[in-house]
Structure 1
Amino acid sequence: MADTFQRARNEEQRAVRRRAILDTAAAMLGEMPVSQVSLNELSRRVGLAKSNVLRYFESREAVLLELLATASQELLDHLDTALPQAVDADAPVSERTDRVAATMADALAARPVLCDLISAQAAVLERNVSTQVAAEYKRAGIAQAFALAHLARVHVPELGERDSVRFAAGALLTATAAWPHAHPSAAVLAVYESEPELAVLRIDFATALRESLEVLLSGLLARASR
């Protein structure tokens, strides 16, 4: 396909191209899961030949990793406002931990694109990128994980620094595992419809995540008290 864009001549124009690619990929994720986002379709929608998309991002996965980093930061910005509104600093620790868990679970459940990207991160998105892209993403991811740990510790200082990091890591791992189980394939959904007894272990994402985070926080606090 011939480009609808003229070739970028300076950094400002390159930034415009990159932004167009990212915005188009983000729009596609609003319509389809990560697994269905292809470089061919992305190129078609953005109006660039696939080879020219690859001038700005080395792979489909590099595009999606950048979107994941952006979506993760947006979640942190939201929690920075939502947690103080939800958690009473003078409440007992058990109540504060439950409110932290509920607020985080609700925030993630309200961001299906982020959850889909998180669930694909290790198994898919990190498999077709260069060492440089992987290092850049990991630096951003580590900074964001520590920021999440800090937000939790502000409202549950009983955790301590080490356990707040454990909580943040555990929360992300739990979300990664729970999302695909809460959103089964069409074939599995058809089975649940025809044989309801087989849906006994089907989970609701927000509920399962909230309950898991409550248990994780309670367990960390119990160990700390020993």
Structure 2
Amino acid sequence: MRRARILAVTSEMLEEMPVAKVSLNELSRRVGLAKSNVLRYFESREAVLLQLLDAELHEWAAQVDAWLVESPADCLERIAQVADVVASSIAERPVMCDLISAQSAVLERNISTEVAVQHKYAIAGEVETITRAMVRALPELSNEQAWQVVAYTILLTAGAWPQSRPAPAIQAAYDLEPDLAAGQMDFTETLRDLIRVTITGLLASA
């Protein structure tokens, strides 16, 4: 119950602040435990955030699995449908996007091998769920190709999410000089287009 409470409070904090500002001290205060007690359940701040990412990925995979269904539409239409479902479902999860963006550079830097193994197995399981769902909706893709699409999508999310959420000074520059904002991207549209292009390219090169 305490582990679940710690994860729930961490999720609430991420709705208010970026990953970098989530501290063990503030988390402990909000949970109502001493910092040392929080560390009894999680070995570090990063371990808390990684387990939260695992939970977010599990919920996302279940959602995609439910949404990606067989369709009588032609191949190009189904590619567009798959890209839309995957991109839209990711965009609905800002906490997950924040965590994915910080995963390699921050969250995986202060953890034990045991936590790393658990985390990587958790990710592999969710990727496999989405891979199966993608092949079901788009049987033209092989399992390997669908796995590539999912892996690339996570990488694209890590880069596109922070790019679509500019810092206050950058946003102020865009507001002041609209010409500078021409390259500012819409996250959902960009991710949808990139997923569609990735699938189309993999099928064309097969």
AA matched with 1:180: P
What is residue 20 of structure 2 aligned with on the other side? 35
What CA RMSD, in Å, does the superposition of the two structures yield over aligned residues?
Answer: 1.0
Of 134, 141, 144, which aligns to 1:152? 134
Give the alignment of 1:59-138 within 5 angstroms: 59-84=44-69, 89-138=71-120
For the pair shown, the structure with the greater C-alpha radius of gyration is 1
CA distance in 1, matches of 2:6, 2:153: 30
- The TM-score with structure 1 as length reference comes to 0.89
Bigger drift between 92-101 and 23-32 goes to 23-32
2:172 equivalent to 1:187 = no
Question: Once the 2 structures are TM-superposed, how far is the Cα of residue 124 of structure 1 from its aligned partner?
Answer: 0.7
Shift of 1:29: 1.3
* 1:169-180 alignment, distance < 5 Å: 169-180=151-162
1:202 to 153, 172, 184: 184
The residue that corresponds to 2:123 in the other structure is 141
Greater relative contact order (CA < 8 Å, ≥ 6 in sequence): 2
Q: Which digits, 9 at most, give the CA deviation of each residue in 1:152-185, with x for residues without a partner?
A: 1111111111111111111111111100000010
Q: Please report how far the alpha carbon of residue 101 of structure 1 lies from its aligned counterpart in structure 2 after TM superposition.
A: 0.1
Deviation at 1:104, TM superposition (A): 0.7
Q: Which runs of 4+ in 1 moved over 3 A?
A: none
The equivalent residue for 1:4 is none
| Larger displacement relative to structure 2 (99-108 or 25-34) | 25-34
The Cα shift of 1:132 comes to 0.7
Name the amino acid aligned to 1:111.
Answer: R
The CA deviation at 1:198 is: 1.1
For structure 2, the 5+ residue unaligned runs are none
In percent, how many aligned pairs have the same letter?
A: 48
Distance in 1 separating the partners of 2:67 and 2:129:
15
**TM-score when normalising by structure 2:** 0.97
Mapped contact 2:65–2:129 kept (Cα < 8 A): no
**Cα drift, residue 111 of structure 1:** 0.8
Question: Letter of the aligned partner of 2:107 in structure 1?
Answer: L
1:79, CA displacement in angstroms? Answer: 1.2
Aligned mates of 1:75, 1:152 — CA distance in 2:
13
Give aligned pairs, total.
206
Distance 1:117 1:186 in 2: 20
Amino acid at match of 1:130: S
TM-fit CA distance, 1:195:
1.1
**Unaligned ranges ≥5, structure 1:** 1-15
| Distance in 2 (alpha carbons) for counterparts of 1:181 and 1:26 | 22
Are positions 1:21 and 2:3 aligned together? Answer: no
Aligned amino acid, residue 19 of structure 1: A
1:9 maps to what in 2?
none
- Deviates most, 63-72 or 75-84: 75-84
